[in-house]
Each structure stands twice: as structure tokens, then as C-alpha cells.
């Protein structure tokens, strides 16, 4: 029933593995992966899948909806060529070195080479314990799995570099979680997401062997990563490594710039959650900006210091890259290339930030004065409590609609603030209009380009939570509806206005909508 996929399991073939095979959590030294099989579940059932991802892997729609598919992606069966393993990594969590972490509940199934020659690693999240599970159960609840599944695909369609999701499978087994770590554990529905990426290597994969002085392993991993994941990089020896680190820095900057463009807050930017490919990875307590607020984080675990707040993500990424640089230093001949890489991060970030300003405001280039224009707008948006997505979408239509400022009405969360802050918006719009006079684009062209970077639909926290609440009660239709809307986030989709609305009042302080913990 299922197709024959071509597997090329380079990670386990070429890199040192764990010689021990006994179950149970343990410290794994001198190895980058451990062989471990998914633990079967009671009743695997496909809830949803990404048609695009299934197709690019070589599954037909009939195959994706087959019983065999649910068995494989629920962890109850393997396809020919699959080899299952968990990888070993460490990480800096909330600024502190945490030692060995590893895939505690992610089990890779192998690397597929598809008909287009692309490499896609398949990885089950929530498939049972691994040697890296520490005291946890290796499982995932439906709520967090829905969020990871939907957001991976939504981000992809928004044009943000991200790991993908193939499937969301219900396990039929309960999973107990204390959602807010407040002594109220409860049984929830269990689920497994199959996520997909060319590589799941993280900064932490390099940090761990480095922290242990395992320079041989570290060297092997660096060479492997460059060879498999950065084939476009030419050159040799130290130059090649320098180019590679610079490329990692540049990609990370581009990724964070996309987050800032669409209003995405990762929530847990620990170095074990940073992909070497510059992909958004590990969708946990992430969130989307409703009312514009650089101070906001959805992660309740980070409530006190707000280390991973929206407006700080670019700085944190730099800090994380500095950790990576430090981990690489023992096997680099000198630290200059690492410093140059970190500088490349800063340069790429500045350029990407300017490109965002020009694109979001609809100008061909970002001039010095535009930095101030955007800064003032951000200040106003914060004070006026306006919805980021609705505001920029309305601004995109301004040039052709000529109905300002009433067209911004839907973006306000607070009526008093709307009245009070509208005159300031008007004066900002006058400055903006003057600036646009010296931009050579036609109004139509500007509108078209702005609409291609300012999405109409994002995976608002309350929308995902509604889909979760319904699925918990047995109705999974909203998961499918959201998956479908988010396939075309830049298009107006008549009849689907409700997915573009600002956060309703009931969601302001509701768990899952504005407050999320790491418990998943
Ligand atoms: P996260 O904060 O989700 O990135 O997870 C940090 C670390 O905890 C990773 O090593 C995860 O594999 C591990 N982890 C999180 N949840 C579980 C779980 N339910 N079972 C085993 N390991 C887990
Ligand atoms: Mg993680």
C-alpha cells in the first residue's frame, strides 16, 4: 500500500553511535546518536496531514489516508529502509549551560531522498522514551502536537524558514501533564507529529561534544554537516569551515528577520532549539503578536525575565551564535573566522531589518530617515495597542483604497485608545504620504508588493486554541480549516474573514491563547 521510499541514512551511517543499546535514561559519551525504536501506541489514527509534504515525499493522497500510514507515523510499524534513532545534544537553556539533553521524545525514522533529489529526514515527536528522556515519558499531548503541526505548515506558507510537518496522528493513549506546573496534573489525549527537515542538527549537537573535550567527535560532526547540509559551500580546510560558520550566522539572521516581519515569537530560543540550517524548530510555547508589543512573550516559564520576548529575538540569536562559536573554537585554528561570522550575523540582520522596513511600508529602498519612520510607527502601535497583522494589511491597501484612517478601525483593541491615538496616526500617515512621493512605484504595484509581505492570516494563538478545544471534545474540523486557510496567508479569502479577526476579549488572558508553558 505505501510507496517504496529511498532512504539514505547518512547521520547514523557516518557518525559515531552509542554502543550501549539498553533502555533507560543515561549519559551518552563519545556518540552522536543512540538506536531506539518507537514504543507502539494503542490506536494510531491520522487526524491531519500536509498534502504538500506528503506529495513531495512520494505519498499519494490515498496512501496518506491509509491505515498503514497511520501505523508508521504513529510509531507502530516501519517502512523498508527506516532506521530509528535519537540524537545526542546539549544546550544553553535560559542562559545557562544545561549539559546533556538530546532527543528525549523525538525519534528519527531515517532520511528520504525524494524524486527531486531533496533530502528529508522524518522524525516522530512523542514516540516514546529514549536514552535522553531523563525523567520524562517521551510522549506529547494533542494540544502541543496540533500547535506544532499547524504552525510548521503555516510558517512554511508564510515563507519563513522552518521544519515541516507531515502528519498528526492520535495515539489513543492518555498522557498526563501538569500544564502550569502548579500541582494539578491531568490526563490529556496523546498525539504524535511527524516532522520533516533536511536536517535536525542543532547548535547543541556541537556544544555537547565540545563541552566534554570530545574534539574528534566534534570534528566529525562539523565535516559531516558541511558535506551533507551545505553542499554548495566550496573550498577546503579552515576556509571552508569559516564560510560554513558565516553561512549559519547569515541564515539565522534571515530567519529571525522573518519572525519579526510576521510577528512570531519563538518563546524558547535555547541553543538546543536552534537549527544549524537556520530553520525555525521546536514549536513549544510560541506565540503570535496580536496587539503590537516588543515586550511580549507567550511563555509563562519566562514571565519574570522575558529573555525570549518578541523584541529581543535578534539579540538572543546573536548570543546563541556566540555559544556555538565558543563550542567550535577548540577545533578552529584561530578565532578570527568565528568573530567574522558573528559580524556577518550583525550585517545580515541589519540588512534584513532594513529590507523588512522597506517591504512592510511598501518602499523600494530603506533610507536612513525610514528607520525613524518605522521606529515611530512601532512606538505608536505599542501605545495605541493595535493589532500588528491587521494594521500592516490595512496599510498595504491604503495606497489604492484612500479610506484612511477608518480602515484601521478593526486593528484597535481599546476604543478609548483608538480615539486618543488616532490624531497621532494621522500625522504619521501624513509623513508617510510625503515619503511615498519620492518612491518610484505606482500605487498598484506598491499595494501588490506590500500584500505579499504583510500577511492577512497568521496562526493566531486563540485560533489554534479553539481548534485544540474542539479537537479535545472530538471535533477535529477546525484543525483542517486552519491548515487550509494558512496555505494561502497572503490572499484575501472571501468567507474566511473570521480567521483574520483580532483576538476576542475572551482570549486575552486565557491559557493557550496568551499564556503557554513548556509542559507539552
Ligand atoms: P524543549 O523545551 O521542548 O525544547 O525540550 C527540552 C528537552 O527536554 C529536550 O531534550 C527534549 O527532548 C526534552 N523533553 C521535553 N519533553 C519531554 C518528554 N515528554 N519526554 C522526554 N523528553 C522530553
Ligand atoms: Mg527542544
* pLDDT at 497 exceeding the cut of 90: yes
Nearest residue CA, atom 10 of ligand 1? 101
User: One of 272, 282, 353, 387 is an active-site residue; which one?
Assistant: 272
* pLDDT at 51 exceeding the cut of 70: yes
For ligand 2, the distance from its centroid to the CA atom of residue 141, given in whole angstroms, is 15
For ligand 1, the distance from its centroid to the CA atom of residue 474, given in whole angstroms, is 27
147-161 pLDDT tens trace: 999 999 999 999 999
* pLDDT at 110 exceeding the cut of 70: yes
Task: Classify 282 in phi/psi space as left (phi over 0), alpha (psi -120 to 50) or beta.
Answer: left
Listed by start position, the domains of the chain span 6-200, 204-358, 363-440
Task: Classify 181 in phi/psi space as left (phi over 0), alpha (psi -120 to 50) or beta.
Answer: left
| Per-residue pLDDT band at 402 (split at 50, 70, 90) | low
CA 386, CA 375: separation in Å to the nearest integer?
A: 15
* pLDDT at 327 exceeding the cut of 70: yes
Question: Which one is predicted more confidently, 517 or 126?
Answer: 126
Question: What local confidence, expressed as pLDDT, does residue 398 receive?
Answer: 87
Mutate to test the pocket of ligand 1, among 96, 99, 105, 126 (most ligand atoms within 8 A of CB): 105
Tell me, rounded to whole angstroms, the distance of Cα 132 from its chain centroid.
22
CA 315, CA 59: separation in Å to the nearest integer?
A: 41
Q: Half-sphere exposure (CA, 13 Å, Cβ side) for 23? A: 8
Please state, as a whole number, how many other Cβ atoms lie within 10 Å of the Cβ of residue 83.
16
* pLDDT at 280 exceeding the cut of 80: yes
| Per-residue pLDDT band at 400 (split at 50, 70, 90) | confident
Catalytic residue flag (residue 272): yes
pTM for the model: 0.98
Question: What residue ranges line ligand 1, CB within 6 angstroms?
Answer: 101-105, 132-133, 136-139, 268, 272-273, 282, 284, 518
Rounded to the nearest integer, the mean pLDDT of the chain is 96
Going by the DSSP 8-state scheme, the letter that residue 502 receives in this structure is P
Amino acid at each position: 500500500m505505501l510507496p517504496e521510499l529511498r532512504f539514505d541514512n547518512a547521520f547514523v551511517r557516518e557518525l559515531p553511535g552509542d554502543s550501549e543499546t539498553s533502555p533507560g535514561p543515561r549519559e551518552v559519551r563519545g556518540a552522536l546518536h543512540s538506536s531506539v525504536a518507537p514504543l507502539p501506541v494503542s490506536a494510531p489514527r491520522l487526524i491531519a496531514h500536509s498534502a504538500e509534504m506528503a506529495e513531495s515525499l512520494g505519498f499519494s493522497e490515498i496512501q496518506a489516508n491509509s491505515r498503514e500510514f497511520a501505523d508508521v507515523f504513529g510509531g507502530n510499524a516501519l517502512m523498508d529502509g527506516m532506521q530509528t534513532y535519537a540524537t545526542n545534544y546539549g544546550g544553553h537553556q535560559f542562559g545557562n549551560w544545561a549539559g546533556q539533553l538530546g532527543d528525549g521524545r523525538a525519534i528519527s525514522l531515517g532520511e528520504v531522498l525524494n524524486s527531486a533529489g531533496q533530502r528529508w529526514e522524518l522524525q516522530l515527536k512523542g514516540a516514546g522514551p529514549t536514552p535522553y528522556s531523563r525523567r520524562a515519558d517521551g510522549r506529547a499531548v494533542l494540544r502541543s502536537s496540533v500547535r506544532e503541526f499547524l504552525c510548521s505548515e503555516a510558517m512554511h506558507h508564510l515563507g519563513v524558514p522552518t521544519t515541516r510537518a507531515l502528519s498528526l496522528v492520535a495515539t489513543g493513549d492518555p498522557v498526563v501533564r501538569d500544564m502550569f506546573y502548579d500541582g494539578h496534573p491531568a490526563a490529556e489525549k496523546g498525539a504524535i507529529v511527524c516532522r520533516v527537515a533536511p536536517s535536525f542538527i542543532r547548535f547543541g549537537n556541537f556544544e555537547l561534544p565540545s563541552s566534554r573535550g570530545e574534539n574528534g567527535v566534534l570534528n566529525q560532526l562539523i565535516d559531516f554537516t558541511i558535506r551533507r547540509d551545505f553542499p554548495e559551500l566550496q573550498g577546503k580546510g579552515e576556509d571552508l569551515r569559516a564560510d560554513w560558520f558565516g553561512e549559519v550566522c547569515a541564515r539565522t539572521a534571515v530567519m529571525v528577520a522573518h519572525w519579526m516581519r510576521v510577528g512570531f515569537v519563538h518563546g524558547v530560543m535555547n541553543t538546543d532549539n536552534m537549527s544549524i540550517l537556520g530553520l525555525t524548530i521546536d514549536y513549544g510555547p510560541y506565540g503570535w503578536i496580536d496587539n503590537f508589543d516588543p515586550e511580549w512573550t507567550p511563555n509563562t516559564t519566562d514571565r519574570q525575565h522575558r529573555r525570549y520576548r518578541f523584541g529581543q529575538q535578534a539579540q538572543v540569536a546573536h548570543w546563541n551564535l556566540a555559544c556555538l562559536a565558543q563550542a567550535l573554537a577548540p577545533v578552529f585554528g584561530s578565532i578570527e573566522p568565528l568573530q567574522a561570522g558573528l559580524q556577518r550575523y550583525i550585517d545580515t540582520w541589519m540588512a534584513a531589518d532594513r529590507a523588512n522596513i522597506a517591504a512592510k511600508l511598501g518602499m523600494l529602498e530603506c533610507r536612513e530617515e525610514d528607520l525613524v519612520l518605522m521606529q515611530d510607527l512601532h512606538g505608536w502601535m505599542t501605545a495605541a495597542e493595535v493589532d500588528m497583522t491587521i494594521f500592516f494589511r490595512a496599510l498595504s491597501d491604503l495606497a489604492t483604497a484612500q479610506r484612511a484612517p477608518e480602515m484601521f478601525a478593526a486593528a484597535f483593541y481599546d476604543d478609548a485608545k483608538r480615539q486618543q491615538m488616532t490624531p497621532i496616526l494621522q500625522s504619521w500617515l501624513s509623513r508617510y504620504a510625503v515619503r511615498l512621493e519620492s518612491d518610484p512605484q505606482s500605487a498598484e504595484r506598491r499595494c501588490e508588493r506590500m500584500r505579499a509581505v504583510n500577511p492577512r492570516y497568521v496562526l493566531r494563538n486563540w485560533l489554534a486554541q479553539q481548534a485544540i478545544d474542539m479537537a479535545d471534545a472530538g471535533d477535529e474540523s477546525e484543525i483542517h480549516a486552519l491548515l487550509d486557510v494558512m496555505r494561502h496567508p497572503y490572499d484575501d479569502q472571501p468567507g474566511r474573514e473570521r480567521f483574520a479577526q483580532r483576538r476576542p476579549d475572551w482570549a486575552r488572558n486565557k491559557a493557550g491563547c496568551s499564556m503557554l508553558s513548556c509542559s507539552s
